[in-house]
Amino acid sequence: MSEASSSAAARRKDPAGDAALIVIAKEPVAGRSKTRLSPPCTPAEAAALAEAALGDTLEAVVATPVARRVLCLDGSPGEWLPEGFELISQRGDGLDERLASAFEDVGGPALLVGMDTPQLTAELLSASLGALTDGADDAVLGEAEDGGYWAVGLRRASRDVFEGVRMSRADTVEAQRARLRELGLRWRELAVLRDVDTFEDAREVAALAPGSRFAAALPGTWTAVS
């Protein structure tokens, strides 16, 4: 078998191929992170939960076979950042611009996830990367239960995919689908996940991942709050 044939065979076996896996995140700082968890959390407790969620997400990314791992960060990295990640800064005013810039800076193909789904697993990330790279679709989209989305992937970076899309709303995923449709792009839907915005979300997600850092950072007395 020639060297070129061997490389092609290896790419077929690796669902990620030459793709990048991007985590877009905010530095977990008290008073700036997960503010909607307060109350009942204090700002320090909310930041601890944010750091735990980020740690779980990065751990899942480390365990995922992928060509590049990238952290697109608002803030400064801490001891929570594992080795093996490229670090880039977020650019843009709104989330739509920051998403567009992340894909532009990394290139494609790439799958981007946030830090609000600590129940993520390497298996789910691998399957999502495979959905992006092993077919004829231009994009993938993972809906969140609150009407947003927890993942988006593009074969080729395009600012038009994101700029002007309404973010952080109950109809964001529908607005994103409409934009993909307007651009004539084909996409595949990923699994629907619950992300952490409210304290009730935190309890539900911790129950989905009982062995996670996130669950450990959520004291048992909180889980009993009604």
| 3-state SS, one letter per residue, for the chain | CCHHHHHHHHHHHCCCCCCEEEEEEECCCCCCCCHHHCCCCCHHHHHHHHHHHHHHHHHHHHCCCCCEEEEEEECCCCCCCCCCCEEEECCCCCHHHHHHHHHHHHCCCEEEECCCCCCCCHHHHHHHHHHHHCCCCCEEEEEECCCCEEEEEECCCCHHHCCCCCCCCCCHHHHHHHHHHHCCCCEEECCCECCCCCHHHHHHHHHHCCCCHHHHHCCHHHHCCC
Domain-embedded: residue 1? no
Q: pLDDT per residue over 168-192, tens digit each?
A: 999 999 999 999 999 999 999 999 9
Residue 142's CATH number: 3.90.550.10
pTM reported for the whole predicted model: 0.89
Total tally of structural domains belonging to the chain: 1
Domain that holds residue 59: 17-213
In the prediction, which pLDDT does 219 show? 66
Q: pLDDT per residue over 143-162, tens digit each?
A: 999 999 999 999 999 999 99
Domain-embedded: residue 185? yes
